[in-house]
Amino acid sequence: MKIFGTFGLKRLGAIALAAAILGAPVMMAHPALAQDASSASSVAASSAPAAAAPAAAPAAASNDAVVTYPKDAVNSGDDAWMLTSSVLVLMMTIPGLALFYAGMVRKKNILATLAQSFGATALITVLWMVIGYSIAFTGHDPYIGDFKYFLLAPLNGDINIANTDLAPTIPESVYMFFQMTFAIITPALIAGALADRMKYSAFLLFMGAWLLLVYCPIAHWVWSAKGFLGTGGSIGALDYAGGTVVHLNAGTAGLVAALMLGKRKGLGTENFAPHNLAYSVIGASLLWVGWFGFNAGSAVEAHDGQAGMAAAATQIATAAAALAWMFVEWIVSKKPSVLGMISGAVAGLVAITPASGFVNPTGALAIGVAAGVVCYLSAVHLKKLIGYDDALDCWGVHGIGGALGAILTGVFASSKINSAGKGWLYDGNFHQVIAQFEDVGIVFVYCLVMTFIILGVLKLTIGIRVSEEVEQEGLDINLHGEVVHG
Amino acid sequence: MKIFGTFGLKRLGAIALAAAILGAPVMMAHPALAQDASSASSVAASSAPAAAAPAAAPAAASNDAVVTYPKDAVNSGDDAWMLTSSVLVLMMTIPGLALFYAGMVRKKNILATLAQSFGATALITVLWMVIGYSIAFTGHDPYIGDFKYFLLAPLNGDINIANTDLAPTIPESVYMFFQMTFAIITPALIAGALADRMKYSAFLLFMGAWLLLVYCPIAHWVWSAKGFLGTGGSIGALDYAGGTVVHLNAGTAGLVAALMLGKRKGLGTENFAPHNLAYSVIGASLLWVGWFGFNAGSAVEAHDGQAGMAAAATQIATAAAALAWMFVEWIVSKKPSVLGMISGAVAGLVAITPASGFVNPTGALAIGVAAGVVCYLSAVHLKKLIGYDDALDCWGVHGIGGALGAILTGVFASSKINSAGKGWLYDGNFHQVIAQFEDVGIVFVYCLVMTFIILGVLKLTIGIRVSEEVEQEGLDINLHGEVVHG
Amino acid sequence: MKIFGTFGLKRLGAIALAAAILGAPVMMAHPALAQDASSASSVAASSAPAAAAPAAAPAAASNDAVVTYPKDAVNSGDDAWMLTSSVLVLMMTIPGLALFYAGMVRKKNILATLAQSFGATALITVLWMVIGYSIAFTGHDPYIGDFKYFLLAPLNGDINIANTDLAPTIPESVYMFFQMTFAIITPALIAGALADRMKYSAFLLFMGAWLLLVYCPIAHWVWSAKGFLGTGGSIGALDYAGGTVVHLNAGTAGLVAALMLGKRKGLGTENFAPHNLAYSVIGASLLWVGWFGFNAGSAVEAHDGQAGMAAAATQIATAAAALAWMFVEWIVSKKPSVLGMISGAVAGLVAITPASGFVNPTGALAIGVAAGVVCYLSAVHLKKLIGYDDALDCWGVHGIGGALGAILTGVFASSKINSAGKGWLYDGNFHQVIAQFEDVGIVFVYCLVMTFIILGVLKLTIGIRVSEEVEQEGLDINLHGEVVHG
Amino acid sequence: MKLIIAIVKPFKLDDVREALVGAGVEGLTVSEVKGYGRQKGQTEIYRGAEYQVVFVPKVKLEAVVDDAAVGKAVEAVKAAAATGKIGDGKIFVVNVEEAIRIRTGETGSAAL
Amino acid sequence: MKLIIAIVKPFKLDDVREALVGAGVEGLTVSEVKGYGRQKGQTEIYRGAEYQVVFVPKVKLEAVVDDAAVGKAVEAVKAAAATGKIGDGKIFVVNVEEAIRIRTGETGSAAL
Amino acid sequence: MKLIIAIVKPFKLDDVREALVGAGVEGLTVSEVKGYGRQKGQTEIYRGAEYQVVFVPKVKLEAVVDDAAVGKAVEAVKAAAATGKIGDGKIFVVNVEEAIRIRTGETGSAAL
Ligand SMILES: Nc1ncnc2c1ncn2[C@@H]1O[C@H](COP(=O)(O)OP(=O)(O)O)[C@@H](O)[C@H]1O
Ligand SMILES: Nc1ncnc2c1ncn2[C@@H]1O[C@H](COP(=O)(O)OP(=O)(O)O)[C@@H](O)[C@H]1O
Ligand SMILES: Nc1ncnc2c1ncn2[C@@H]1O[C@H](COP(=O)(O)OP(=O)(O)O)[C@@H](O)[C@H]1O
């Protein structure tokens, strides 16, 4: 079997890592266990019949008051929207992201690029169900979730329970699924940095390890009820839909991966022009369309104006960024490229992600323009200057755009839009900007170190890069035994 | 006009068949008429003003109790989800299935393959509106629906009536539309077996006849209020979203069609490699995305945890099957092909379809793994062994996968997930497994016989296969006068 | 910078026009101001706490009674459906329309065609946010909206306000977004008429000017609370989802643009066969799928049978039109082309648009058949006869289809489906047919004149057509610096 | 040495290749081409406009063979490519002055 | 017999074909090729990286004609393909020793 | 004048072009072709069916050069295209009787 190299020693290393992937949560169990008493009781509370629960449908909540819903009180409209949002976010990865990336590579690597998004989707789904959701979104420990949801066990007994901390008005199955789609796209984004040269076996192991060792902890820190980085924790950073958790995180991992893999053979001398940008336009469009599940879905309900305002902010920032990138490029390079327009749109989507539930339309416009200009500079000029080979600009767009958006969230957040978010400009709360910087810094450093370790282990054991010949001939035929004839 | 052959006799046969398609319901009217008294009264009841109907919005239903809604009490969240679901299932056929299949054929047949999905969508929509819905989803006869909904007449008078038996909280227009999208994709799936060689005129007649003579009766048997195969009938089989009604049914028809059409010219000697698997990846991704309308939509509501749990089960099984197929192929053939991954995903979607509303996450995982392995063996090895030319594996994936899923539903159904489904493993109800086998057997045999008759009549009259020259030159230019230049 | 021509004079003209685009609303301010008193008070009313507002969730409304919702009473199901609808309509433009058109051009113009849809989406989003929504959908003046919503200012203060006139049960952010997606696709449709030969700078300026000077006023006339053409105004025309506002409007503009640009070089002598109809099939399929957001979304709620019936009518008419075009072509040209099927589907979607909320299933079927036949004749035969070069049949399908649908709405509207629409056939109200003709005439003439003026100014200043060499070599490499290699 | 150029119907490619190999030819090079001749192309129709496709898809095989092998090779192509229908294609023979195998530097017949 | 090889601009293909037919040529074969010469290719830009496309799309026509017809055919191509701008292309003439029509077995001029 | 036909591995295209230009060749024409020879193609697998891809992707360069320049040009191609592995390709030399530059009407060496 070719999957795990050929030497006993290397195989050993790989098996160790595979074990680590599945074992990671076990290792994390110790600190988590300390929290068990409290979190267990909260789960118990949520599954106990809510005595005084009103039988009527929930009244529309004002966006200030925290409404407690009884366990069976699924709000059908909230449920409908969150199911739809989950499906939209899944569509962002397959086929959205898959096509966005596949259109930019050379013909011989199209299928391998599609296989990365598709394979990651399958693998992460299973890992998420086994343990990912449990360590990311349950419990009240500030650093890591607990183990109660191993194999999603609590859902076996009652389909109507809710994650009362985070999503009280929808079934927990839906919230778990919604968050799963985030967990899928985040590692999948990294593929943009390692295009055209990574072994598929190493890629899958990397995806799995990174999910459990990097994504899950960070998601817990920022989004769980008492996570230390988020609004329920000591730092109090705002990240509506994942500017740091998703985009800065994936971007940073991409940067590390690009550096550790090295440049693609022929870069600078051969023609690396995208084979079929039509695919990339389809992909970018589906990313845009699906992103409403991402941002407006992060309201986790549809019974007040939160989701709608997040949707409006998303649309405005995205369009502004697409125009900004296009016009800057038009002026600098004399032509508005299609790749520029769609990259600008993605940059806008990325930057508005952390801000979407906190800013008003004008704030969204400003963030969009900033994202278009800054990401253009980073993806086109900074990369050239420094010289790493972030093939499809995972760092340049997601890393830079995510950090930019996170910081600007501190600037533009308005408590009139969301009482949980008081920003600098409208509410005079400069402290929020500092919290955002802390969030960015911590996520960046943690991700950098951990990604380096994971890829380092893989490099020393099974190797992460294909042979020169395989790279030359193309990944499609060599890794997957297929080619695109069209 | 070339549509209907050239000989008077053949033309006659074709006209007879066309007449049969539209006449079929009329012929069925006799037994149905016997049921008119009772079904008429039930319709009357559903349109009569429900006297004691509470004016308030419906309370969230526990998943055990059967709640009766007054006729006007559309639950807006349920309605939103079912509209969305219908749209998602439509997207599965166009462009999902169309691309999935079109990517696997040779360049000269791409448009003809797309035309099959698109044309079937249009044709079946009209037939469904004329009579299909009426004979499938109305009335209380165990064997066939009645005629009250010819041209959907009852909807002309009141847009707020509901199908109180099957979908009490949404308008009947939505339920009719939702079921229409199922009726569209089922025959369209058969196209996978007859790729590259069927006449388009024969294809359309086949689609129409099969819809009315095979799909509608079986849908009635399994899903209508008192259908003899389903939970309201004597056999009591479980089929949440169509493991037998949709997939085994289409797969069996595909097997018959593949055998009656014969092998493609050049099979085994010429290169039949898929022209553009990128299209197939887009198609498979949209199938995956749209399938949440299929399975979670089959809850026909969003006011409790049913839809959410079906969605979670679907996602888990699909991912598990994709991984299973991928790893088995990786071990056997040394390379994980992209076609394998996406085929595995589709196999998982198929197999979880009948089970999705009855199993817990672990059950879904088990069904997914089984589907990936079994469908790999059937599509890749069984086919080789036996030697029929099921071009794109309609039988190997949908037939086998549908039957497998139906049977495993009996094994893994848990009454804690759905009180209507007590299975073997969790509830000790072995009887359910037997019921599932009966369901599979009856659907298989009925479909086999009827499909053979329909295609037999077509073969003897207008012919079902294109000439050798047309097959050689390609269907696109010959049947549709167009080619893909790209 | 190449964007704005090379002569000072021309540049001046362009700047003047750009100024006009942004200044247009200012010029319109005068008449609007007269209405300020009344409209201001209405806005005030809508944001004032509705004293007697019941706290409970809204009861399902019968489709006759007009229900007044309190400002905070977002109906979560309505909200979910309208968010979904907005996303679906966005998907119609990108990637739907983009692909539909891109598949029909020659290889050298694929990216430029995609860039038109994508760039228009970005540009119009920003203009709509700045002022478009304000002048189209606010205020009670019959001719033009007011300025209160400049930069969407009212949304800065409260995310839960609603447009009480037009969408009382959802947040105004959602309604603004939903209407934005209509404002995006309408100008984008025009691109079909000017394919293969328009300068990109001129295209963008045209899009912006046309949005503000043509689309916004007409949308206000037909759809705002007291617009003179619509049901709240003196003419009283019915246009459920935009037969005149969207399709006749875009079609007419396309006709003018085709005439003013002149024919493509080589038409009639060179092979203009579509490069890749597979793209067009994907595009048409996504248009079909997304159109449920368009038509069923135009119910602006999901708490009764309106949206569902509109969805059913849409599906039936579309399928009927696809079949009608296919069979007519099959008889006339001996082959059923794939381009014919998908064009028929689009024709059906267009024609049912104004009628979708007013007709019963049988009415929808009739409108579909009419659309398929009439648009086939206009796109294929009328165009040949008259000889304008409406490259991708913007006028032939959208113009003719929109007008046809608008008129047939007057014929088939049934008050049993929607009490607001009494038509000729079912309600004996011939007056409605006349109102429809008036609507068609006024929209046609206004659009014709204004489009002529806008394009005239552009032609005299920066020019609207690329050089012959650029046209010959392809727009992709010349305008955008990229090509499709695939 | 001679260069044999054969223009044949695409679906005959494998047959012709096998026939040439059978006739002792050890290497050849193939291009996809479009042919114009007595055989007429098909008609594409797009929204009423008919496009006569004047060119027909063909494949061109090029094989350089030893002078002595020319007769046998030509016969092999003829036999394998013929269907008897219009459009079967042509064979042209052109003189080749030198042949070199890049890998080894061999020249002449040894290079083939 | 001579093989006339003409490398011309793609959009001139139809003109050149018609001119050749007008000059009595009854068959020809066309390939899509990329040319390198005085005419420079265009520049593609992707995220700041410029790719000088050194090759320019061209079409290659190959027609075997009777010795007597060569002059007329060459003139026809020259006239039809010329735009006067750099990159118009070349015509090469190569000797052909034998021609065979596969369908009939005819050889020499009769095979053309 | 001679027509140099070189069939080489696709990724060597740019090297070979540069080498030829270095050897004084001012123009050339390239086609994508499929080669059959000692080098075996790879295997594609689709749902269990294996397709031996008998043809290997190659590029064909054609350059017409002055008689005097033939040696240098052939050497240039040989040096640039060689990897030492099977499948490096071939060079064939064919006599050309006439060359014409369409733009100017120049003939012979002046046309190259
Ligand atoms: N004089 C010619 N020079 C080059 N190629 C030719 C010539 N004549 C025919 N061909 C090629 O041979 C193919 C077949 O020729 P055609 O005249 O159609 O039929 P047949 O081979 O039966 O005579 C053409 O499509 C063309 O590619
Ligand atoms: N020596 C040559 N051998 C083969 N092909 C050539 C040669 N010189 C030019 N060509 C072909 O002719 C085309 C046109 O040549 P170029 O030098 O660009 O312009 P012009 O034809 O005006 O001299 C080139 O793109 C190339 O395909
Ligand atoms: N006799 C020949 N005639 C034409 N082309 C040939 C001939 N022999 C080889 N070729 C071409 O040269 C390529 C390389 O040849 P091959 O035998 O694989 O390896 P090598 O060049 O190392 O001898 C082939 O793929 C084919 O395109």
| Residue B350 burial (CB count, 10 A) | 33
Q: Does E12 touch chain F (CB under 8 A)?
A: no
| Residue range C31-85, pLDDT digits in tens | 433 343 333 333 333 333 333 333 333 333 333 333 334 445 799 999 999 999 9
Q: Is E48's CB within 8 Å of A274's CB?
A: no
Below-70 pLDDT ranges, chain D: none
Burial of E71: CB neighbours in 10 Å, binned 0-12, 13-18, 19+: exposed
Q: Is B484's CB within 8 Å of C63's CB?
A: no
Asked if residues F77 and F6 have their Cβ atoms less than 8 Å apart, the reply is yes
Tell me, what's the pLDDT at E44? 79
Q: Identify the helix (H) or strand (E) that includes residue C354.
A: none
Residue in chain B lying closest to F53 (CA): B271
Rounded distance from Cα C411 to ligand 2 centre (Å): 66
In our burial notation (b when 16+ CB lie closer than 10 A, e otherwise), range C114-130 reads bbbbbbbbbbbbbbbbb
Q: Is A482's CB within 8 Å of F44's CB?
A: yes
Cβ neighbours for B375, distance < 8 A, ≥ 6 positions apart: B321, B325, B343, B344, B347, B350, B351, B396, B397, B400, B401, B404
Q: What is the DSSP letter of C312?
A: H
Q: Is the pLDDT of residue A59 over 80?
A: no
Ligand index nearest the alpha carbon of residue E73 = 1
Banded pLDDT at F52 (limits 50, 70, 90):
confident
Secondary structure (3-state) at C103: coil
Tell me, what's the pLDDT at C386? 87
Amino acid at C61: A
For an interface test with F, which of D21, D77, D102 has the most F Cβ atoms less than 10 Å from its Cβ? D102
Query: Rounded to an integer, what distance in angstroms lies between the CA atom of residue B371 and that of residue B247?
Result: 13
Q: Does D29 touch chain E (CB under 8 A)?
A: no
| Residue A6 burial (CB count, 10 A) | 9
Map tokens 């643009």 to a residue.
Answer: C257
Query: Rounded to an integer, what distance in angstroms lies between the CA atom of residue C319 and that of residue C346?
Result: 10
Q: Is the pLDDT of residue B46 over 90?
A: no
Atom 5, ligand 1: which residue's CA is nearest? E28
Residue (of D110, D108, D78) closest to D93 by Cα position: D78
Q: Is the pLDDT of residue C11 over 70?
A: no
| Residue range E15-62, pLDDT digits in tens | 999 999 999 999 999 999 999 999 988 777 788 777 777 888 899 999
Tell me, what's the pLDDT at A360? 98
C-alpha distance from D11 to closest chain B C-alpha (Å): 8
pTM for the predicted model, two decimal places: 0.90
Give the atom of ligand 2 at the shortest distance from the alpha carbon of F29. 27
Query: Rounded to an integer, what distance in angstroms lies between the CA atom of residue B315 and that of residue B317?
Result: 6
DSSP state string for A107-147: GGGHHHHHHHHHHHHHHHHHHIIIIIHHHHHSSS-SS---S
Mean pLDDT of chain A: 88
Question: Does ligand 1 come within 6 angstroms of the Cβ of E103?
Answer: yes
**How remote is the C-alpha of A243 from its chain's centroid?**
8
Rounded distance from Cα E108 to ligand 1 centre (Å): 13
Tell me the mean pLDDT in the region B256-264. 97
Tell me the mean pLDDT in the region B194-223. 98
Question: Does ligand 1 come within 6 angstroms of the Cβ of D24?
Answer: no
Q: Identify the helix (H) or strand (E) that includes residue F99.
A: strand F98-101
Q: Is the pLDDT of residue B385 over 90?
A: no
Banded pLDDT at B21 (limits 50, 70, 90):
low
Instruction: Give the least confident one: A147-151, A268-272, B331-335, E38-42.
Output: A268-272
- Please count the CA atoms within 13 angstroms of the CA of D73 that sit on its side-chain side: 27
For an interface test with F, which of A111, A473, A475 has the most F Cβ atoms less than 10 Å from its Cβ? A473
Q: Could you say which architecture CATH assigns to the domain B9-38+61-480?
A: Orthogonal Bundle (1.10)
Tell me the mean pLDDT in the region F5-30. 94
Tell me the mean pLDDT in the region F75-91. 95
| Residue range A440-479, pLDDT digits in tens | 999 999 999 999 999 999 999 999 999 998 998 899 999 9
Question: Does ligand 2 come within 6 angstroms of the Cβ of F104?
Answer: no
Look at A486 and D98; give whichever has higher pLDDT.
D98
Tell me, what's the pLDDT at B353? 98
- Residue A167 phi/psi, 5° resolution? -155, 70
Asked if residues C106 and C275 have their Cβ atoms less than 8 Å apart, the reply is yes
Write the residue in C123, C126, C482 that is nearest to A337 by C-beta.
C482
**Cβ-Cβ contacts under 8 Å, F51 against chain B:** 271-273
**In the structure encoding, which two tokens stand for residue B112, read together?**
């003809």
Q: Is A481's CB within 8 Å of F44's CB?
A: yes
Mean pLDDT of chain C: 88
Q: Is the pLDDT of residue B47 over 50?
A: no
Tell me, what's the pLDDT at A70? 41
Give the atom of ligand 1 at the shortest distance from the alpha carbon of D90. 12
Tell me, what's the pLDDT at A21? 55
Query: Rounded to an integer, what distance in angstroms lies between the CA atom of residue B104 and that of residue A482?
Result: 12
Query: Rounded to an integer, what distance in angstroms lies between the CA atom of residue A357 and that of residue A351?
Result: 12
Tell me, what's the pLDDT at C65? 33
| Residue range A364-384, pLDDT digits in tens | 999 999 999 999 999 999 988
| Residue extents of the structural domains in chain C | 9-38+61-480
Residue (of C283, C391, C397) closest to C347 by Cα position: C397
Instruction: Give the least confident one: A18-32, B11-25, B36-50, B452-466.
Output: B36-50
Tell me, what's the pLDDT at A385? 87
Q: Is the pLDDT of residue C310 over 70?
A: yes
Banded pLDDT at B18 (limits 50, 70, 90):
low
**Cβ-Cβ contacts under 8 Å, D31 against chain E:** 31
Q: Is B270's CB within 8 Å of D46's CB?
A: no
Tell me the mean pLDDT in the region A81-90. 98
Tell me the mean pLDDT in the region B277-288. 98
Check contact C-E (3+ Cβ pairs < 8 Å). Answer: yes
Asked if residues B85 and A84 have their Cβ atoms less than 8 Å apart, the reply is no
Instruction: Give the least confident one: A44-58, A360-374, B374-388.
Output: A44-58
Tell me the mean pLDDT in the region B139-159. 96
Rounded distance from Cα E56 to ligand 1 centre (Å): 27
Tell me, what's the pLDDT at C482? 93
Asked if residues C238 and C421 have their Cβ atoms less than 8 Å apart, the reply is yes
Q: Is the pLDDT of residue B338 over 50?
A: yes
For an interface test with C, which of A62, A89, A282 has the most C Cβ atoms less than 10 Å from its Cβ? A282
Q: Does D100 touch chain F (CB under 8 A)?
A: yes
Question: Does ligand 2 come within 6 angstroms of the Cβ of F61?
Answer: no
Show which residues on chain F lie within 8 Å of chain A, measured between beta carbons.
11, 14, 42-46
Query: Rounded to an integer, what distance in angstroms lies between the CA atom of residue B393 and that of residue B255?
Result: 9
